[in-house]
A and B are shown apart, each in its own frame.
Chain A
Amino acid sequence: MKKDQVPQDEGNLSKNNVRELLYATDEQGNYTTALSKGWEPKSIALSNAMDDISERMELAKADFKAGKSSPIVYFMEASKMDLTILASYVGMWQWRVKRHFKPSVFAGLSDKILQKYADAFDIDINQLKNFKAD
C-alpha cells in the first residue's frame, strides 16, 4: 500500500479520535508509517460485530420475557461474553453456569452467587434481581 493511499474514512474510530498506525511505502518504494483515521471495510466489520451483540441482547430479552431464560443470559450478552468467559469470571463450571440460565434455577440462587455474577458484569446485584427487560 502506498502512503497516499492509506485510507482516511470517517467512521466510529474517527468519532473517538483514534488514529491507528499503518505501514506503507513512499514514492521511492521505501517503507514508512502513516496514521489512518479509519477504513470502511474494517468499520463495517466492526459494526457487524456490534450489531451481532445487540441482536443477541434483544433475543435474550425476548427469551426472558417468554420465561425461557434468566437475566444472566442478557447480561452475559451485554458484556460481550460467552459461556466459557462467564464461567471463568465467576469461577464456576460451565454446566453450573448453564443451569443458572434457567429461570427456575435462577429464582433460587443465593445472594452470594448472585453477587459473583453482578461482579462479573460490573453491575449492582439489584439489577440482576429486578431485571425487567425494558
Chain B
Amino acid sequence: MELGFTHHQSAHCENGVASNLLKHNGFEISEPMIFGIGSGLFFVYIPFLKVNHAPAISYRPMPGTIFNKAAKRLGFTVKRVKFSNPKAAQQALDDNLKNNIPTGLQVGVYGLTYFPDEYRFHFNAHNCVVYGKTETDYLVSDPVMEHVTTLTHKDLEKVRFAKGAFAPKGQMYYPTSIPNKADLPKAIIKGIKETCRDMLAPVPFVGVKGIRTVSKLVRKWPTKYGVKVANHYLAQIVRMQEEIGTGGGGFRYIFAAFLQESADILGKPELRELSHEMTKIGDKWRDFAVEASRVYKNRSSKSDVYNLLADEMLKIADLEEAFFKKLKKAIA
C-alpha cells in the first residue's frame, strides 16, 4: 500500500515534515516560513545537562514546538497521539494509512538504518513521515534525505520506542483541519516577535546572553578540563551548529531565507536588508566553525586559541543583539 505523497527534501526535519504534510493537504508553504512562524531560531545552553559527554547547547527550541506554534498561528489543527504499547502504536499508524493519511512520526535517530553511522546518536527528536507499507517495510519520507527510503516493521517500532531524553513514545501526528486562507502577515509578525523576545531574553542561558555565557565557559575549558576534553566540547558545539538539519550556520541561513520571503509578503523592504545582515551573521558562525575545527584538529598555530574563539563568540553575540533590536523595531 502506498499513498500518493510528494517528498521534498528540507534542511530541518521538523519544518520539513510540517511543510510536506501541509503541502500534501493542499496548503502551499515553504520550509523557512514554517521555521520563522514557529519561532524556530534560538540559542540555549542547558547547565548541568550532558549530551554525548559534553555540555548541552542547542540552536533550536524544544522538539515539537516549531510545528505546534506554526499550527496555532496559521490556524490549522494537529492531532498528536502517544502510546505506551507498541502494538497499539503500529495499529494506529496502519489505520491512518488505510484512511489515506500520511502520518508524521517522532523517532529516535540511533535506530535509523538509512543514516550514516556518524549521524546515529541517541537523539530522540527526529521527525519523518510514513506514507505506505509493504509486507516487510514501511515507506518513509525523511525530509533531510534526498530521496524517500524504507524501514523494516521491526526497525520502525524500535525508532518509535527509542528511550532516553525526549523519548518519542510512539508519537504520531497529522494535520486534521487546514484553513482555506491563513492570515500569513499576522502569523509572521507573531513568529518574529517571539524570536526577538527569546533572543533578547534577560536570562543568562538563553539567546544572546546564552552565547555570552558559553563564550565565558570556552575560555575556562582548557585549564579546567584539559585540552582533550576542551576540544571534545568544542567539536560538540560545531556539531550542534552544523548538524544535519540546521541548513548551515546554526539555522541562521534558514531564518534569513524566512525574512526575505516575509519582506515581500509584509511589503517591508527593510526586512530584506535584515535578511542580508542575518546571512552575514550566519557566515560568521561558519567562520567560527572553521576556526574551532582547526583547534580540535590541532592544526591551529595561533596561541591562546580558546580565548580567540571566545572573542569570536562575543562578537557574534553583539551582532545578534543589535540585529534583533533592529528586527523588533522593524515589525513594531
Residues of B within 8 A of A47 (CB): 118
B116 to A: closest C-beta gap in Å? 4
Contact of A41 with B293 in the complex, beta carbons under 8 Å: yes
Of B110, B236, B248, B293, the residue contacting A23 (CB under 8 A) is B248
The reply to whether the CB of B231 lies closer than 8 angstroms to some CB of chain A is yes
A13 to B120 alpha-carbon distance, docked (Å): 13
The reply to whether the CB of B150 lies closer than 8 angstroms to some CB of chain A is no
The reply to whether the CB of A21 lies closer than 8 angstroms to some CB of chain B is yes
Scan residues 23-40 of chain A and give those whose CB is less than 8 A from a CB of chain B: 23-25, 29-31, 33, 35-36, 39-40
Given known contacts A12-B116, A23-B254, A48-B231, A30 and B260 CB-to-CB distance under 8 angstroms: yes
A23 to B121 alpha-carbon distance, docked (Å): 25
A84 to B248 alpha-carbon distance, docked (Å): 30
Residue of A nearest to B231 (CB): A48
Residues of A within 8 A of B21 (CB): none
A6 to B: closest C-beta gap in Å? 8
Residues of B within 8 A of A24 (CB): 248, 253
The reply to whether the CB of B256 lies closer than 8 angstroms to some CB of chain A is yes
B145 to A: closest C-beta gap in Å? 8
Contact of A23 with B32 in the complex, beta carbons under 8 Å: yes
Contact of A49 with B249 in the complex, beta carbons under 8 Å: no
How many A-B contacts are there with CB distance less than 8 Å?
121
A20 to B: closest C-beta gap in Å? 5
Residues of A within 8 A of B171 (CB): none
The reply to whether the CB of B144 lies closer than 8 angstroms to some CB of chain A is yes
Q: How many residues of B contact A (CB 8 A)?
A: 52
The reply to whether the CB of B18 lies closer than 8 angstroms to some CB of chain A is no
A70 to B75 alpha-carbon distance, docked (Å): 54
Contact of A31 with B164 in the complex, beta carbons under 8 Å: no
Binding-face segment, B94-102, B193-201, B274-282, B322-330: B274-282
Of B167, B283, B292, B293, the residue contacting A1 (CB under 8 A) is B283
Residue of B nearest to A18 (CB): B116
Given known contacts A22-B253, A47-B118, A85-B122, A31 and B260 CB-to-CB distance under 8 angstroms: yes
The reply to whether the CB of A19 lies closer than 8 angstroms to some CB of chain B is yes
The reply to whether the CB of B52 lies closer than 8 angstroms to some CB of chain A is yes
Of A1, A12, A25, A46, the residue contacting B286 (CB under 8 A) is A1
Residues of A within 8 A of B249 (CB): 1
Residue of B nearest to A6 (CB): B248
What sequence of 0s and 1s flags, for each residue 31-53 of chain B, a beta carbon within 8 Å of any chain A beta carbon? 01000000000000000001011
Residues of B within 8 A of A81 (CB): 122, 164
Contact of B11 with A48 in the complex, beta carbons under 8 Å: no
The reply to whether the CB of B10 lies closer than 8 angstroms to some CB of chain A is yes
Contact of B297 with A23 in the complex, beta carbons under 8 Å: no
12 interchain pairs (CB within 8 A)? A13-B116, A16-B116, A22-B248, A23-B32, A25-B279, A30-B260, A35-B9, A44-B297, A45-B242, A46-B119, A46-B239, A49-B121
